[in-house]
Amino acid sequence: MWGRRTYVMGIINVTPDSFSGDGLAGDLDAIVRRALGFQEAGADLIDVGAESTRPGHQPLGADEELERLAPVLDTLVQVIKIPISVDSYKSPVARWALKAGAAMINDVWGLKADPDIALAAAEAGAPLVLMHNQKTATYDDLLPDIFRSLSQSKRTALDAGVPEENIILDPGIGFGKTAEHNLEIFRRLGEFKSLGSPLLVGASRKSTIGRVLDLPPDQRVEGTAATVALAIAAGADIVRVHDVTEMIRVCRMSDAIVRGWRPAGWTG
């Protein structure tokens, strides 16, 4: 499965305060249209989040998160065919989502906020994304510190019964990191393959791109494309993006060069 091509995860923010300006809280019709559009464009899966993770966001309790998420997930599992990932770091939300039809959990705290998410994933036999995150941007040594944290997250998941093949790691671009940290992670992204798990990278529209290009979130598509192409060259297996149509094109061209992928009917 891994290594033949890059998988594209489309972002659906069921929030009123997304940093990227694409939050769709309360607009179920718009959420369905976006999900169907992502599916038609060729996304491999979608990632639905009901709590913003932007800097300075207001955390939600599990009940409030479920209140936002439930009608969306209940509807999407009926209308789209591609797998649905749920972006949550709370085990009650994760457990409900998996029972309701979600195929994967994306934990932005890598089990550091709620280790029981690993038990929920293990019970459901579901893949689990473990992202590096921390409350400050202070490191003794950036990559070794991140590797150590991700290794601890992976061990927690394994000990809870999550099979190794169901664990996906994410370096956490933009989470507990400065712009310089994020750029260093990209320069050294290939080193993350030493952790022995598939790699998910999500830099879409993020503030580091804005800092470099001096552009607002809705004008960062070219910057995002650069991060996607470079991530693929470094071995990323999944990219998490807002601009699905454009990034699928970037992925396919990058895959053709890096991984030898060819479109159906290719004659050379």
* DSSP states of 42-74: T-SEEEEESS--STT-----HHHHHHHHHHHHH
Beta carbons of 77 and 97 less than 8 angstroms apart = no
Answer whether residue 120 is part of any domain: yes
pLDDT at 137 over 70: yes
Task: Please return the burial class of 249, using the count of CB atoms within 10 Å of its CB with bins 0-12, 13-18 and 19+.
Answer: middle
User: Domain of 78?
Assistant: 7-258
d(CA 266, CA 230): 25
Answer whether residue 224 is part of any domain: yes
CATH code of the domain in which 13 resides: 3.20.20.20
**Average model confidence (pLDDT) across the chain:** 94
pTM of this structure? 0.94
Answer whether residue 194 is part of any domain: yes
Answer whether residue 119 is part of any domain: yes
How many domains are there within the chain? Answer: 1
pLDDT at 47 over 60: yes
Answer whether residue 265 is part of any domain: no
Is residue 3 within a helix (H) or strand (E), and if so which, with residue range? Answer: none
State the pLDDT at residue 57. Answer: 62
Answer whether residue 42 is part of any domain: yes
- Per residue in 82-101, pLDDT (tens digit) is 999 999 999 999 999 999 99
Answer whether residue 1 is part of any domain: no
* Residue 205 backbone zone (phi > 0: left; psi -120 to 50: alpha; other: beta): left
Question: Catalytic site residues?
Answer: 206, 240
- Per residue in 234-247, pLDDT (tens digit) is 999 999 999 999 99
Query: 170 — phi, psi (to 5°)?
Result: -135, 125
CA end-to-end span of the chain: 24
State the pLDDT at residue 141. Answer: 98
State the pLDDT at residue 108. Answer: 97
Answer whether residue 129 is part of any domain: yes
Residue whose C-alpha is closest to residue 157's, from 147, 167, 149? 167
